[in-house]
Amino acid sequence: MPNPETTTTLVLPALGDHVDEVTITRWLKNAGERFEHDEPLLEVSTDKVETEIPATGAGTLLEILTPENEVVPIGAALAVLSGSEVADPVPAQTRAMPAAAPVMADPPPSVAVEPATTPTVQRLSRVRQTIARRMLESLQTSAQLTTVVEVDVTSIAGLRAQEKEDFHRRTGVKLSFLPFFVAAAVETLAEHPVLNSSLDADCTEITYHADVHLGMAVDSDKGLMVPVLRDAAGLSLVQLAQGIAAVAERVRLGTIRPDDLAGGTFTITNTGSRGALFDTPIINQPQSAILGVGAVVDRVVPIRRAVPALEIGVRSMAYLSLSYDHRTVDGADAARYLTAVKRRLERGFTADDLR
């Protein structure tokens, strides 16, 4: 039988290499209350994440040592617990937030919010305050400009319609348009390295990244974040589809880690996931560019198959918007990159690319 008088101190566990301190957001248990194994004891927040700290055994919360809204470092004593099976905790859920502001494909269902019946004032969470600050800092730091092109993805739409059921059966992942856009964008970066670069704070040196660590903006019920797909240039179309689905799932399940958000060199956001044709996304500093993918829509457009013949037909069309740092990327650079991505998409893919 365990000794019920055994006590231990609950300490704040490590939350990733880039997290040094947190704010105690909310205690989920009061002094004197029992808890079970894996039951969340409190919520904490950092600049990037909101995390529930769970119990690693059953016991009783005897005393709260750190009150709500207090900022504490990793390893700080949080509470005194009873129960011999209680050990040092590890975070069970991590909900991360990005420094960029767009959304990805297949967002979760909207959370119902009751309309306010009077003027309502609510304090921003630490995460939301950080996002607000970084959005403004991004605009104040770099000279941001957006270029837009229109692309015909009728060929991809046909391939997707033909292959999506088999693809889902083989991979367990739904085949959206997004992996095709991502594959074209990543492939094209090799010939346009200035888009996959970072400028130092003094504006004296630019780093051209050898690898593409791709940030994918993801929507969640707690807000937006940008997890990173490492070495995206080495991933096949199938692996990209699986990777996108995996990071999106981890975001929505709350299992994403702070380290999963670090080190991106280029970002893609599917602004069309909610029906938007295009927008002007804000760059995720210190990156040089972010590509926005608009909704794929059927439109009647002119088609010139041979000079001077001109036809009118229904095509699957989408806009691509590239926001870039004009300190290092010229308008011609941005236009050349977008045009190259457009050509790659309109060249299309084959069924073999999905195997």
Q: Which residues are catalytic?
A: 326, 330
**Helix%, strand%, coil% for the chain, nearest 5:** 30, 30, 40
Tokens of 287: 């990156």
Residue 142 one-letter amino acid: S
β-strands 309-325, 144-152: how paired? antiparallel
Q: Can you tell me the distance from the alpha carbon of 307 to that of 290, in angstroms, rounded to the nearest whole number? A: 36
Which one, of 350, 346, 351, lies nearest residue 303 by Cα?
Answer: 346
Q: Can you tell me the distance from the alpha carbon of 85 to that of 220, in angstroms, rounded to the nearest whole number? A: 34
Q: Can you tell me the distance from the alpha carbon of 15 to that of 94, in angstroms, rounded to the nearest whole number? A: 9
Question: Using CB atoms within 10 A of its CB, is residue 125 exposed (0-12), middle (13-18) or buried (19+)?
Answer: middle
Q: Is 197 helix (H, G, I), strand (E, B) or coil?
A: strand
Largest CA distance in the chain: 90
Q: Which residues contact 71 (CB under 8 A, 6 or more apart)?
A: 21, 22, 23, 24
Q: Can you tell me the distance from the alpha carbon of 334 to that of 102, in angstroms, rounded to the nearest whole number? A: 19
DSSP for 266-319? EEEE-GGGGT-S---PPP-TTBSEEEEE---EEEEEEEEEETTEEEEEEEEEEE
Q: Can you tell me the distance from the alpha carbon of 342 to that of 78, in angstroms, rounded to the nearest whole number? A: 54
Q: Can you tell me the distance from the alpha carbon of 311 to that of 70, in angstroms, rounded to the nearest whole number? A: 67
Q: Which residues contact 295 (CB under 8 A, 6 or more apart)?
A: 272, 273, 275, 276, 277, 318
